Amino acid sequence: MKRVVRFDKFFIPAVVISVVAITAGLITFAMRGFNLGLDFSAGLIEEVRIASPAINVKYTGSGNAAIEVAQNEIVVILTGATIENASHQISFDENKTVSSVVDALNKIEGITAETVSSGDVESSRLFADVNSGSTLSGSRDFPIYTTTKTEKPATVDSIRGLLEADFPGVAVKQVGEPAQLTFQVKIPDDGTDPAISETARTKTAAALTKEFGEGNFAITKADFIGAQFSQSLITQVFILILLTLVLIWLYATIRFKWEYALGAIVAIIHDVLIMISFLAWSQIEVVSIIIAAILTILGYSINDTIVVLDRVRENSKNPNLDRHDIKTVMNLSQSEMLTRTIITTMTTMFAVLSLFIFTTGSMKDFALLLMVGMISGAYSTIFISSAVIVAVRGRKEKKGSAVVAKSDSSKKKASKKAKDSEADSSHGDSSNTINVETPSQWK
Amino acid sequence: MSKRFRFLIVLTVLALCFLFLWPSISWYVRTPKEMQQLALSSLEHIKDYSLAMAHADVSQLKELARSDMNGDLPEKFLPFIDSAKKNRKDMGDEIPSQWNVGEFIKSFPSEFELQAEIEGSYRDEILKAKNYYSNSAKLGLDLSGGMSVVVKADLEAAALAQKEAATGQSDAEFRALAMEQAIENLSERVDKFGLSEPVIRKQGEDRIYIEIPGAAQADRISSMIMGKGLLNFRLVDSEATEKFADYYNDNPATTFNSEGELIDTSVIPEDCEALGYYVKDDYGLDERRGYLVVKKEVALDGKHIKSAEVGSDRNGKPQVNFILDGEGAEIFADFTSANVGKNLAIVSDDKIKSNATIRTPITGGQVAIDGFSLDEAQNLQKVLQTAWLNVPLSIESQQVIGASLGEQAISQGIRAIEFGLLAVMIFMLLWYHGAGINAVVAQILNLYMMFSILSAFNLTLTLPSIAGMILTIGMAVDANVIIFERIKEELRLGKDRASAIYSSFKNAFWTIMDSNITTFIAAMFLSQLGSGPIQGFAVSLAIGVISSVFTALFVSHLMFDFNTDVLKRKKMSIGWGIKQ
């Protein structure tokens, strides 16, 4: 017989730990609130890089030329009826300096590239912005940027200072490597300006132009959410989380007894609360994908719990066990499923860990939150759900055994039975099989 | 369910999946970037390109014929020999045994026919690639870079403006009409940028969702979305138009540069410009019929149009009646009196939508244009409608992602999948030994099925959906673990291999179903939240649940049975400490 772990010993401490963690989280939330990301706080978020053009590219041929500036190469695609259709790749590994890249570009028919910055700059630092498009023309320069030393200082404070006049609520923070001079500028939309998406962008551009000069900054990302949209999103999120909880509870009630379903639902509510507390404590930016993490853990944690409850149901039918003693059944089921619970948590952890290691930004936060949720999920499955079930069933059992005692003819035997079963259950012995009533004369 | 039947089902599913995956593979792997660029451009551009290529080919052939009639036929014409043979048969001539330049040219009754055929083949090639694209999984904006905008149409303000024009429509009708108008305007304007396959669709009652993949000029596009369209009337220079038509026929590829400007500006008079004349085709898309040379000077600005309606003339034929305001009527009276007999072009956003002859001076400000079918009349009325039916648009949300960020995301996603899959697989092999292979194969099959379902429904792959796939792998392994642990237990109780497998799968079935159904519920709800990235995550999670149930219950079972029945294994390699 497999070794059975006496989980029920840990029920009370586990519940206490959880309550403490959640309360701490709620207090932190009351003090700091959430760090609401773009989707939930209206306004414009732009990623601005203070940089100047290193290369200007023109196309004067008779076809169409498109350019893609990627992490480690530049691709120029020529199409058209009068020219040879081809795509030319200029890898940064092979052309390590700007002048080398410019030479390679000029070799392509119809392309003229000129070096604007110093030719010795490393090509791996080249990047393009989002406002230049991808089509090359003969009349317009296509700028490829690189970060250089600026005359005026480019810091969080200086940039905030530039924009505060127009947008008092602006928030600026630096992202990425410090040498890359990348700033995230957040301009809130309080609903007063209907054309805020335009004005926010144009005024920011104007202020930056004034300070750093025309074309000496590049916008690499721009997201805008209107006030109405973000508001409706917040309500949507609440409704969704609630509905998911309700539906899962319904499903669990149909498949199992209601007290089991209750245990399950309390476990996943516990997980949601732990995740929310973590959000408040870590001040991770709350965006849509973070909500996705919460909903995923809802589905995942219930998964865990149901597998155990399934085993509980099966063990309850086993005539060799004292199926009326919920604690023993619970301990047994949890112990049997322990291997599976740990292994599943581990394998999913591998998957999420790889996400955490290899991604950046919101995806990284997403992975982190998932890990927290999964650990909480395993914990809640083993301790919280069983604690609830044992507590509820325990009360039911006390009522139940009292009923049994009354219906028994011999009062003495009855009270003895009650005493014995109580005494026995306090041992919670794993090899508890049939309750043997020792006749009074043998005692 | 018999084992053979199960095997057949698995094979069918795998084959179907390959079928669905094929367009995606063809597009992303087999289509070179230049062809991709062409395939993603507008139909108009593809037609122009094919025509120009065909024209160049035919010119080349003519050159060769001039120098040496008996010269060898260049390779690129060889595919058309079949058609040449057929023409010879039709003409009643005999089919030559050797095909040289002269024989080939003789097989085609006219230069135009040959050109049309070559044009068709170029176009078909590009359209085939375009077809692959539409049937494959798309890359989301966070992976390809690009722009997505949600625009809100202020229907209330438009309704107020319409009350002045009073065209007697019900409120609901008007709203639908206004939305249609707004979407069409936006489509035309976005098209002007010549971007690859923009997506513009209605979302809900009063929102429009625009998605422009690939790098685009973000700020120009945003301003363009909010701006108003241009509608005006211009005088057509018929002589110059004819001259220009000839010029264009001779030089289809070298008339305009990539920006749409004339390369040689001396072809048309200085005070004119050449604009395309567009008619709506069967699909409701603008088809360019030719070019008209119109005066740059605006004869009448569209803002003077008060209303436009479709009616019928004395003979019952369709005509479009529009009414000008006081100032407009005066301007128009002067203009028409001075230009009787000349043509008037109605220009909307640099596209000519109508070309009408001025028969008599129009002084009362009530204008009637006739000479077209009912469809054409209705289309023209819609064009004129834009003058006063102005639906104010506001940007509700906008996301712009640089292409290089997209590439970064792709490589991150790929590495994450590789590492996650590898870690899970190594663990399963270490812990479950032989049975681990079972799990590994199941997971690989899982990924394969997920990608093909994505491709089958042309869904969008985003970084969150890659995350969903990775998560699915982790959770799908759970099903295998449940079964394997069960098998271990059964073996410990002393059962033999076959019965252990049988009872494990039977007992584990409902456990696996229960747990996956709840994840599925969560995923379904999640897919309703927001759009784009989150949906991608939820959808791939949902797909992953389905495919992992399939691989765990069907494929794993099959593989175990295969070992039992075909390889006649008696024992199970399923980990340590299991005595068999």
Q: Which residue has the higher pLDDT, B165 or B243?
A: B243
Q: Which among A59, A77, A292 has CB closest to B34?
A: A77
- Pairing assessment for the beta strands B460-461 and B138-139 based on DSSP bridges: parallel
- The ipTM assigned to this model is 0.73
Do the Cβ atoms of A247 and A76 come closer than 8 Å?
no
- Asked if the model's pLDDT at residue B91 lies above 50, the reply is yes
- A-chain residue closest to B141, CA distance: A221
Which class for B342: exposed (0-12), middle (13-18), buried (19 or more C-beta within 10 A)?
middle
How far B5 CA sits from the closest chain A CA (Å)? 30
Closest-CA residue of chain B to A303:
B515
Q: Are residues A299 and B403, on separate chains, in Cβ contact within 8 Å?
A: no
**3 state DSSP class of B98:** coil
The radius of gyration of chain B's CA atoms, rounded to the nearest angstrom, is 32
DSSP state for residue B494 in the 8-state scheme: T
- Mark yes or no for CB contact B464/A70 under 8 Å: no
Nearest CA in chain A to B259: A137
Of B52, B398, B541, the CB nearest to A296: B541
| Interchain CB distance below 8 Å, B401 and A299 | no
Instruction: Give A190→chain B minimum CA distance, Å.
Output: 13
Instruction: State the SS3 of chain A.
Output: CCCCCCHHHHHHHHHHHHHHHHHHHHHHHHHHCCEECHHHCCEEEEEEEECEEEEEEEECCCCEEEEEECCCEEEEEEECCCCCCEEEEEECCCCCEHHHHHHHHHHCCCEEEEECCCCCCEHHHCECCCCCCCEECCCCCEEEEECCCCCCCCCHHHHHHHHHCCCCCCEEEEECCHHHCEEEEEEECCCCCCCHHHHHHHHHHHHHHHHHCCCCEEEEEEEEECHHHHHHHHHHHHHHHHHHHHHHHHHHHHHCCHHHHHHHHHHHHHHHHHHHHHHHHHCCEECHHHHHHHHHHHHHHHHHHHHHHHHHHHHHCCCCCCCCCHHHHHHHHHHHHHHHHHHHHHHHHHHHHHHHHHCCCHHHHHHHHHHHHHHHHHHHHHHHHHHHHHHHHHHHHHHHHHHHHHHCCCHHHHHHHHHHHHHHHHHCCCCCCCCCCCCHHHC
Task: Residue B471: list chain A partners with CB under 8 A.
Answer: 296, 348, 351-352, 370
Residue B16: per-residue pLDDT: 92
Mind telling me how many Å the CA of B128 is from chain A's nearest CA? 17
Identify the residue among A60, A124, A130 best suited for mutation to test binding to B, counting B beta carbons within 10 A and taking the highest: A130
pLDDT in tens, B460-517: 888 888 888 888 887 788 888 888 888 888 888 888 888 888 888 888 888 888 778 8
A370 CA: distance to closest CA in chain B (Å): 10
Contacts of A340 in chain B (CB under 8 A): 478, 481-482, 485
Chain B residue numbers touching A68 (CB-CB < 8 A): 215, 403
- Which pLDDT belongs to residue B379? 83
Q: What is the pLDDT of residues A240-298, one digit of tens each?
A: 888 888 888 888 888 888 888 888 889 989 999 999 899 888 888 888 788 888 888 88
Q: Average of pLDDT values for A364-389?
A: 89
User: Which residues does chain A have within 8 Å of residue B473's beta carbon, measured at their own beta carbons?
Assistant: 351
The helix/strand/coil state of B279 is: strand
Which chain A positions have a beta carbon within 8 Å of B529's beta carbon?
236-237, 240, 288, 291-292, 295
- The region, left, alpha or beta by phi > 0 then psi within -120 to 50, assigned to residue B285 is beta
Place of tokens 């009360």: A395
Which tens digits make up the pLDDT trace of B342-387?
A: 889 998 878 888 888 888 888 888 888 887 888 888 888 888 877 7
Give pTM, 2 decimals: 0.76
**CB A373, CB A291: distance < 8 Å:** no
The reply to whether residue B474 touches residue A70, judged by beta carbons under 8 angstroms, is no
Residue-level pLDDT at A63: 82
| Chain A residues whose beta carbon lies within 8 Å of the beta carbon of residue B577 | none
Closest chain B residue to the Cα of A367, Cα to Cα: B467
Please list every residue in chain A whose beta carbon sits closer than 8 Å to the beta carbon of residue B489.
336
Chain A residues with CB inside 8 Å of B417's CB?
354
**Do residues B531 and B465 lie in contact, with contact meaning Cβ atoms separated by under 8 Å?**
no
Task: Round to whole Å and give the CA distance between A138 and A57.
Answer: 9
Best CA proximity match to B64, nearest among B75, B53, B80: B75
CB-CB: which of B226, B258, B518 is closest to A302? B518
> Is the Cβ pair A296, B419 closer than 8 Å?
no
